[in-house]
Structure 1
Amino acid sequence: MERGRPAFGPPGDAEEQAAVADIMAQAFAMPLADSTAWVEKAGLANLRVLREKGTVTATALPIPMGQWFGGRRVAMAGIGGVGVAPSARGAGAATRLMQHTLQELRSLGFPLSVLYPATQPLYRRAGYEQAGARFEIRVQAHRLDFNERTLQVRPVSPADLPAVQELYRRYASTRQGYLDRGPYVWDRVFHPRSETAYGYVVEGAQGLEGYVWLVRRRKVDLLQEIFLTDYVVSTPTAARRLLRFLGDHRSLAQEVVWTGGPMDPLLLLLREQTYQVKLLFHWMMRVLDVPAALESRGYPAGVSGTLHLHVEDDLFPENRGTFTLEVSGGTGHVQRGGGGLMSLDVRALAPLYTGFLTPEALRSVGALVADDATVRLAATLFSGASPALPDMF
């Protein structure tokens, strides 16, 4: 392997590319052919490696996207594919990899970063904290006995994709924590790893009212499970029609499964509480740029107030110190200085920012220090639905 390359950056020659695929195969217990395909699909320009003594010791995949908070899109970099070569484990390579990655992402202007943790201590050392959830929802197919058939359900065509993506974007913008997807995540919807997804649209006289992408998973005795890689409905009629369409699979499918938040609105339409909602992951967030993050998100309309923060951050000096957040008309403005009436570190800022934990809950476990009036104000400013992510990346 050629020496003299920087300690951190995209993989270089074929030897480094093979090293990335090998690390991913071992880190995620997947066949080498699958990890090689993952590397090729991700694109070498998007991958990052840590080099130590001329050898690739760790890898990561930062993914540009956005996330919705308070009805506004905040630029966010998702982190996937974090792996360390077995011979380099236990020596701090993962920590050094994450520090380099976060410094680069901040320099590129990303206020936030999100990931699904295989282990929390590593990412907490890098400033991440739990900030939202991903739930699995299971419904027995025979319970989807709706009579709605006034709308047409047909296979998706390439011409439908712009309308599909716009429908998703309108839907996601009203859901706290949902992604503003980029090409990488959309590809996960359309082409899930090692599976085949089939797309269908729900159409009325005025055009597209919903869509679904589903995977048919073989179970025992020829039975199936229907897994939804994505769905959106924009009208009550489309919601009932989609459930009817899924229920029509009941001769072979025992259950219909999808991911989302703790209470999916489709469940409200079911006659009985025969579904299951199970926590899969708590995802973690890292605030990379405190002022930019606070100014980028939306806030409740009709609420105004001034919140004085004191933030600690071991990695980024720019995030340390006191900040004043002034909220009015659904928008926040940040200035340096102020009274610092609420003290917290950058980790605790993440669940406060997303609304995953209330200020009172954070105070109860010592994650922040503030008086009662400041806690009440922060609870009002950061109020909203529980943040959720249906997507993996």
Structure 2
Amino acid sequence: MTPTVRRIEYTDQPDYTRLGGEAFGVPAAGPTVPTSEEWAASGFREWGAFDDDGLAARLRVYGFTSWFHGERVPTAGVAGVAVEPERRGSGHLARLFGAALDEAREQGDVLSTLFPSAPGIYRRLGYEVIGSFDDVDVPLQNLNRVSAPAGVTTRRAGTADFDAVVAVHRRWAAVQNGPVSRAEKPFWTPPEKFFADYTGVTLAVDAAGETVGFASWNRGEGYTPATTVMEIDDLIALTPDAARALWRTLGTFSTVVGTARVATSGLDPAWLVLPDLSTSVHAAHPYMLRVLDVAGALGGLSSVLEGARVPFAVRGAAGLAGAWTLTVSDGVTHLERDAVAVEDAHHERPVLGPNGLALLYAGAQSAANLRIGGHLTGPADHDAVLTALFAGRQLHVRDYF
């Protein structure tokens, strides 16, 4: 029987919750089914695949915007993917993703991202690993050796400082590829809840009184350095002295806290002020991306490559396959669809697979490396321009879902 794939209704919540509990573990008391009011207010887009035995597979979609190439890009974040163990390998997941991503396109999402438990499953669906969200342990005693900042001090933030915290995050995120903008639920939270979630939020303030960084932290239990861990959700600095000021403030806990467990990604500039990198990765969460709409994702990007012209094609993915010519005029990329069959395109233009398109768009790999990985074929004449069009921004993600 071909399963029925549809949106989850509230009456499906007991089975939906049970299946999620099987996949991700449940507290001793068992999984909690949300009330109808909680479920209606969540804003999630939940999907299920049903067969004769009921719910076989499920997933959840978050609609948000993420920063790529200086713009907030509509993104479908996929989470909570689960298939009943007895029905794995039956094609339920592909059908489920097909329906959920079709709806995402209809709603204007041009990208989809997820944190995979097993990347190989999602590569077959066109997703590729572009970075990682990691929890990194930093010995607090090392922070005492960070150079003193010049002209930057720290102070505790309150709800009146919420806009300043948001502005720092936005300035930082806008020059990266990948961060969730935190402009939509569930990543946007009211000021009162934001501050209630932490032991403290520390601001870095320059001599002119401008907020140039912040750290949000939970102190942790205990006062024995060998066993006590402080958790840092964000440490974002817009200047090196802001980074120094924040690190040194956290370091003042070193007599009672041994480790700062920092949520981070890539090599953030804030880490460049540390005297050494004697750190360890406590947990790593690979982050995957899939382009849903070629023209929507690649068109309208700011570019200094005025006059550039690159024909290319995308193969092997429903909704993506086709041939285009990308040009840069007036500082912006433009895409025109070409009447060229994809199977013939490799004779005249570079051809990307869906995984290669994701890696290129994110600036995670050069065209040369995509060829090494088998994600780019055809003539190499345009490789340097393809690389330059999408490179130049670090990949960072700071929100897990």
Q: Is it true that 1:127 corresponds to 2:114 in the alignment?
A: no
Distance 1:368 1:51 in 2: 34
The 5-angstrom pairing of residues 45-56 of structure 1 reads: 45-53=43-51, 55-56=54-55
In the alignment, which of 1, 6, 21 is matched to residue 17 of structure 2? 21
1:161–1:313 CA distance, 2 compared to 1 (3 A): farther
Partner in structure 1 of residue 104 of structure 2: 105
SS of 2:395 mapped into structure 1: coil
Partner in structure 2 of residue 184 of structure 1: 186
SS of 1:238 mapped into structure 2: helix
Distance 1:42 1:125 in 2: 32
Q: How far 1:333 sits from its partner (Å)?
A: 0.5
SS of 1:96 mapped into structure 2: helix
Distance 2:300 2:117 in 1: 29
Q: How far 1:256 sits from its partner (Å)?
A: 1.7
Partner in structure 1 of residue 243 of structure 2: 239
Which segments of 5 or more consecutive residues in structure 2 lack a partner in the other structure? none
Distance 2:379 2:160 in 1: 56
The 5-angstrom pairing of residues 135-146 of structure 1 reads: 135-145=134-144, 146=146
Partner in structure 2 of residue 374 of structure 1: 382
8 Å CA contact 2:60, 2:79 repeated in 1: yes
The 5-angstrom pairing of residues 318-337 of structure 1 reads: 319-337=320-338
Q: Is it true that 1:345 corresponds to 2:353 in the alignment?
A: yes
1:35–1:296 CA distance, 2 compared to 1 (3 A): farther
Q: How far 1:277 sits from its partner (Å)?
A: 6.0
8 Å CA contact 1:60, 1:83 repeated in 2: yes
Partner in structure 2 of residue 3 of structure 1: none
Amino acid at match of 2:270: L
Amino acid at match of 1:308: P
Q: Is it true that 1:315 corresponds to 2:318 in the alignment?
A: yes
Q: Calculate percent identity across the aligned residue pairs.
A: 27
Q: Is it true that 1:214 corresponds to 2:201 in the alignment?
A: no
Q: How far 1:209 sits from its partner (Å)?
A: 2.6
8 Å CA contact 2:74, 2:109 repeated in 1: yes
Q: How far 1:44 sits from its partner (Å)?
A: 5.0
The 5-angstrom pairing of residues 147-162 of structure 1 reads: 147-148=148-149, 151=152, 153-162=154-163
Moved more, 156-165 or 72-81: 156-165
SS of 1:323 mapped into structure 2: strand
Amino acid at match of 2:68: F
The 5-angstrom pairing of residues 158-307 of structure 1 reads: 158-181=159-182, 182-186=184-188, 198-204=200-206, 205-218=208-221, 223-276=227-280, 280-299=284-303, 301-307=304-310
Count of residue correspondences: 381
Amino acid at match of 2:110: P
SS of 2:56 mapped into structure 1: strand
**Which digits, 9 at most, give the CA deviation of each residue in 1:325-349, with x for residues without a partner?**
1124542110011774111222221
Partner in structure 1 of residue 77 of structure 2: 78
Q: Is it true that 1:359 corresponds to 2:359 in the alignment?
A: no
**Which digits, 9 at most, give the CA deviation of each residue in 1:129-170, with x for residues without a partner?**
222233443322111124449655444322222221122111
Q: Is it true that 1:114 corresponds to 2:119 in the alignment?
A: no
Amino acid at match of 2:73: V
1:200–1:11 CA distance, 2 compared to 1 (3 A): farther
1:116–1:321 CA distance, 2 compared to 1 (3 A): same
Which segments of 5 or more consecutive residues in structure 1 lack a partner in the other structure? 1-5
8 Å CA contact 2:323, 2:339 repeated in 1: yes
1:162–1:386 CA distance, 2 compared to 1 (3 A): closer
Q: How far 1:266 sits from its partner (Å)?
A: 2.2
Amino acid at match of 1:18: P
Distance 1:369 1:123 in 2: 22
Amino acid at match of 2:356: A
The 5-angstrom pairing of residues 87-106 of structure 1 reads: 87-106=86-105
Distance 2:386 2:130 in 1: 16
8 Å CA contact 1:303, 1:327 repeated in 2: yes
8 Å CA contact 1:227, 1:258 repeated in 2: yes
What CA RMSD, in Å, does the superposition of the two structures yield over aligned residues?
Answer: 3.1
Amino acid at match of 2:117: A
1:279–1:21 CA distance, 2 compared to 1 (3 A): closer
Distance 2:242 2:34 in 1: 35
TM-score (structure 1 length as normaliser): 0.86
Distance 2:251 2:164 in 1: 25
TM-score (structure 2 length as normaliser): 0.84
Distance 2:121 2:190 in 1: 26
Q: How far 1:79 sits from its partner (Å)?
A: 1.1
Distance 1:215 1:141 in 2: 14
Q: How far 1:199 sits from its partner (Å)?
A: 2.4
Distance 2:191 2:384 in 1: 40
1:321–1:187 CA distance, 2 compared to 1 (3 A): same
8 Å CA contact 1:312, 1:321 repeated in 2: yes
**Which digits, 9 at most, give the CA deviation of each residue in 1:50-102, with x for residues without a partner?**
14147333222211222222222221111111122344333222222111111
**Which digits, 9 at most, give the CA deviation of each residue in 1:325-377, with x for residues without a partner?**
11245421100117741112222210011111111011123211132321122
